[in-house]
Structure formats: C-alpha cells, structure tokens
Structure 1
Amino acid sequence: MEETTNTLGISAFEDAPEALTIAEKLAANVAATLAPRKIDNATLVTLPEGYRVQDLTSTIEAAQPHRARAQGTVTLGDVPSLLAYCADQVAQERGYIYADPDARTITAVFNDQRSTLAPGWRDHRAHFAAAFTPEFKKWLEQNAKPMGQTEFAEFIEDNLQDLHPDQAQTLLAVATTIQATTGINFSSAKRLQDGQAQLTYNEVIDAKAGADGALKIPQAFNLGLRIFKNGEGYKLTARLKYRLHSGAVKFWYELERPERAVEDAFTGYVQEVREKSGYTVLIGKP
C-alpha cells in the first residue's frame, strides 16, 4: 500500500499517535465535564449549551436503602401516640413542640432552628389535632336553640347516656307532660307628662309537669361528656329554659361556659406533653 502524505508533506501515520492522544484527552475532559458532581448532599450534572442543569438528588436518594435525612409530617390520633413518636425521634435538643389553643393542635418540629450554628429545615414534624367527639358536637350545636315539646323529648331520649339517669328521666317526663298557662299581673300605673297613663305589668307563666302536676321542673342538669376524641370525660352544666310560644311550649338549654371546658380539656393535653415529652413546649403556631 502506497503511503499518503498531506500538503505539508507529513505522514498521516506519523501523526496518528499524537492525534489519538489529543482525542483521548478531549474525550476525558468532556466526560469529566459531564460527570455528576456531588456538592454537600446535592448531586448535579452539567449538560452542553442549550440544555439545563438537572438535579438528580431525589432520584439517587430514592434508590438508596435509607434517606439522607429525616423529613415529612405524620398525623397522630391521640396524645400517647404523639408522645411515643416524639420519644423515638430523640430530638429534644434540636426541636420544639408548639401548642395552638385556638386551633387546638399540638405540633412537634424535630429539625427546628434552636441552634443558630446548625439551623434545621423545619420539615420533619408530628401533628396532633384535638377533635370534638360526636356527642359533644351534638350538645354544642343545639345549644340555646329552641325546640318544640316533641323535638326536645326526642333529643333527650337520643342522648340519655350523656345525662345522669335520674335527671334524664326527669327531663323526659317534663318534656312529655308539661302544661303551662300565662297570665298578666298589672303592678303599677302612673301619669306621664303628656297626660297619658302608663301601665306596668309582668307576664306570669304557671308551669306544671307530671301526671298530677306535682313534678318539679329542674332549673339545671349535668352532662358527662368526652369533649375530645380519645380524651377523658368532663362534667358540664346546662340551664333548662322553656317559654310559651303560639300556644305551645318551647324548650332549650344553655351550656355554662362550654368554651371554658374546651380550653381546660386542651390545657390538660398541653400539660401532659410538657411533663412527659422532654421537649420545650411553646404556645403558638409552628
């Protein structure tokens, strides 16, 4: 085979080793440029012009048997579960627990920013929301709302388990046997400056209950309720009210400061977390 030469008279075969070396170096440089780079916990790769930098961190992490760091939020159904989860995280020196009385929530932030030297991402959490029980919601929703005689009797019958047995039967008897009449007693009369007479009177309601009219109508009754799901029982007092309306009797009850009972029940949760968790508990929103 005849050896060929370029225009400079240099043999192409003589230049082959040097050209191959240059090509290998260029390929190596390109490969090094395109190779993924790890910066701290992030993995990046540089692509040619016209392309974008692709973050492969989550993809690579998802293929590992363990995560690079703990994150995410877990929702728990009661305080003992919250305490157990907080204990497992062993983050008493790094995290805070936040109690929000308005929202009735308790949230633990395990990677909080307690230390200015190593501030956390605040994205590893446990959350507990104190939810009302169905029975408490019934009494709360019907609070101070007038009911007809039959409606009131059915309401008491449906919720007998929340009352003391003796009081429950008394309320049922009152609701089903009450008889009431009204009268007007004039108490005074006086002459006004314009010469007209003004009469002052009081409306009197004579109410009797029981088959013989001898049953005493209670002014108040007590409820034994769990305010929050998976919580302890709580005693509430309700005042019984009744009025004649269009020839019929209207009943209703008024709970005595139900908001105070809710506040006290939630405060009990907060105190339990303070005493048992080992974390610093703050009142506020996380």
Structure 2
Amino acid sequence: MSDPKQPLDAHAIELIKTLAAEAASASLVSVTTGGLGDGLPSGLLLAFDRKGQTFKSIKPLIEEYRQAPERRKGTATVETLASFIALVDRHKDENSALFGKTAMPDPHLTAVLDYDKEGVPARNRSHRIVYAFPLTEEFKAWVSGDAKQMSQDLFAAFLEEHAAELAAPSEADRTNYEPLFNEKFATPSEVLMLSRHLEVFVAAKAKQGIRLQTGERVVEFSEEHRDARGEPVVIPGIFMVSVPAFVDGETVRIPARLRYRISSGDIKWFYQLYRWQFFLREQVGHDLKQASNETGLPAFEGSPEA
C-alpha cells in the first residue's frame, strides 16, 4: 500500500485531470433509427451529459451555423388569381395540390406545395400559397346597399354613380328571370332614365303605385306648385348588374329587383340582389378549376390539414 504522504507523480496528476474532465463533459452518442417509422433520418447524433446522466440533442447548436433553410416553409399571400397561378407554377412539384373554400363569407384558394401523395412518406405540408379573393370596391358598394331603403335623391345618385356596372340582359336572362319574377328586364339606358326622372321629382310627393296590364309598374308624382298634376314614371322591375367581384377578376352578372315603398307621399327606394352569394360561389369554383387547369394540379373543394 502506498504512503498517503508520498506525493503523486506528474503522470498520475494528468490522469486524474483527464478523468475528471471526461466525467464533467458530454460525449457524442450515435443512435440508429431503423424500424422506428418513416420520416426519420437513418441515424441520430446525441450528446450524453455524464453529470446529469441525460441525452441532449445537438440540433439547436448545429442550427446556429446553418447558412440556408433546411426546407421551404411559410405561407405566401397573393392579391389576384393570376399571381396565384404564377407563384404556384414557380414552386410546385408533382405532389402539390390545390384546395378551394368556395362558400361565403371567406372564400379562398390554398396551394399546398409540399403535399402528401398516397404510397409515399408524409411530407411537412407547411409551404403554402393563399389567394383570399379580395372584393372590389364596386362590388362592396352593391352588397352594402342590398335591400337598404334610400331616399329618392340618394337612390338616383347611386344609380348615376354605378351606371358603368349596369348590363343589358341576354335572351337567356329574359327567359330565366322574367317569368320567375313576373317582371320585365330593364336595359341600362332605361335604368338611367329612371334616375333622371327621380332627380326631377325629388321634391314631389308620390301619389300611388300601380301595375299595368303589360306587367310594368308606374308611380305617379304630384307637385303642389303645378296644381297637383300627376306625372307617371315607369319603374323597371329587374335589371342586370355586371361587376368584377374580385380584384382583377372576371365580371359577375347578378339580377337585381327594383323596389319602392310609399307612405304618406314619402317614397323609399331599394334594390334586392338575387342570390348574389350563389353567383360568387360559382365564380370561385370557376377560378379553382381555372387554377387547376393552368397549373396541372389536382383541385379539391375544402381545406387542407392544419
């Protein structure tokens, strides 16, 4: 047995230092992942902390030195259908897919560029492009005024301001909607003529509203300073609105019924857009199909996995 008072030689001191350092430091351990499932690398490199007797990932340390992204991820937002198609074409691969939520109030198209495919390992599904169909100001104005009663001067001004968004009915429109509403379609010029008449009679009192045998409706106005002379104004029953619903998008044609209410000589005007949500949904479905055709990707109505 060695004498405890005998000093240690230099070699023993270095050996003790080495053993102490190794006990306090971490060591790298390689772990194979064969048979543990898809989506894992073939092996993992872990750090074993001898002091705490725990394994730790060295990935956060390695990530500090990464000079390029590990993979594409994130969501790009575009403002037009054309931009959506162009950007999808730029990033797509054979497994990319399109999804479309076509119902109001939040229609949008989503391209999942790193989507899954049956028979291959799952992918991350985290690289996406979204087109949210931003509405035009013109369409917002028509929807905002839908079924809202207006005074005669305000209604006349509204028709004047939106004259460019009035369209002539087609023969198919007349066939479909005139029997449905039992009303006659008005041309844009007839609607504008109505606005001119309303401007003339803005201070007059409405006497009565009647329906003629032709199906047209007539409102008679009286002006006290002209011996209460009745002035008839023919009121169109329905007219066609044709306006781009989405920024830089195709025009959407929506029938609108023209209505009024008379109470004690005071008249209020309003229009009712016929099933405008249906026509927008139809347009969104058309745009989804167009995006699918132009990108060559499959399209599905609905939303992808979160």
Give 1:235's aligned residue: 253
Structure 1: unaligned runs, 5 residues or longer: 1-5, 185-204
Instruction: Evaluate the alpha carbon distance shift between residue 43 and residue 155 of structure 1 in structure 2; reply closer, same or farther with a 3 A threshold.
Output: farther
In 2, distance between residues paired with 1:85 and 1:217? 49
1:154 corresponds, among 152, 157, 179, to 157
Instruction: Tell me by how many angstroms 1:251 deviates.
Output: 0.7
Instruction: Tell me by how many angstroms 1:89 deviates.
Output: 1.9
Instruction: Verify: 1:216 aligned to 2:216, yes or no.
Output: no
SS in 2 for 1:126: strand
Q: What aligned pairs does 1:189-228 form with structure 2 within 5 A after superposition?
A: 207-208=219-220, 213=231, 215-228=233-246
Q: What aligned pairs does 1:41-60 form with structure 2 within 5 A after superposition?
A: 45=47, 57=59, 60=62
TM-score by length of 2: 0.70
SS in 1 for 2:235: coil
Larger of the two Rg values belongs to structure: 1
User: What are the superposed Cα offsets for residues 77-111 of structure 1, whole Å, 9 maximum, x if unpaired?
Assistant: 12222222222223222x32111112311111122
Give 1:180's aligned residue: 206
User: What are the superposed Cα offsets for residues 99-124 of structure 1, whole Å, 9 maximum, x if unpaired?
Assistant: 11123111111222324541112211
Give 2:68's aligned residue: 66
8 Å CA contact 1:177–1:210 kept in 2: the answer is no
In 1, distance between residues paired with 2:284 and 2:70? 36
Instruction: Evaluate the alpha carbon distance shift between residue 174 and residue 219 of structure 1 in structure 2; reply closer, same or farther with a 3 A threshold.
Output: farther
8 Å CA contact 2:23–2:50 kept in 1: the answer is no
Instruction: Evaluate the alpha carbon distance shift between residue 249 and residue 43 of structure 1 in structure 2; reply closer, same or farther with a 3 A threshold.
Output: farther
Equivalent AA in structure 2 for residue 111 of structure 1: D
Give 1:7's aligned residue: 3
**Matched positions, count:** 258
Give 2:277's aligned residue: 259
1:17 corresponds, among 11, 17, 24, to 11
Instruction: Tell me by how many angstroms 1:266 deviates.
Output: 0.7
Instruction: Evaluate the alpha carbon distance shift between residue 146 and residue 224 of structure 1 in structure 2; reply closer, same or farther with a 3 A threshold.
Output: same
In 1, distance between residues paired with 2:209 and 2:133? 49
Instruction: Evaluate the alpha carbon distance shift between residue 65 and residue 235 of structure 1 in structure 2; reply closer, same or farther with a 3 A threshold.
Output: same
SS in 1 for 2:243: strand
RMSD: 3.6
Instruction: Evaluate the alpha carbon distance shift between residue 11 and residue 263 of structure 1 in structure 2; reply closer, same or farther with a 3 A threshold.
Output: closer
8 Å CA contact 1:46–1:53 kept in 2: the answer is yes
Structure 2: unaligned runs, 5 residues or longer: 33-40, 168-187, 211-216, 224-229
User: What are the superposed Cα offsets for residues 51-100 of structure 1, whole Å, 9 maximum, x if unpaired?
Assistant: 9977664564354221111111111112222222222223222x321111
Instruction: Tell me by how many angstroms 1:227 deviates.
Output: 0.8
8 Å CA contact 1:224–1:236 kept in 2: the answer is yes
Instruction: Evaluate the alpha carbon distance shift between residue 256 and residue 269 of structure 1 in structure 2; reply closer, same or farther with a 3 A threshold.
Output: same
Instruction: Verify: 1:137 aligned to 2:160, yes or no.
Output: no
Equivalent AA in structure 2 for residue 131 of structure 1: P
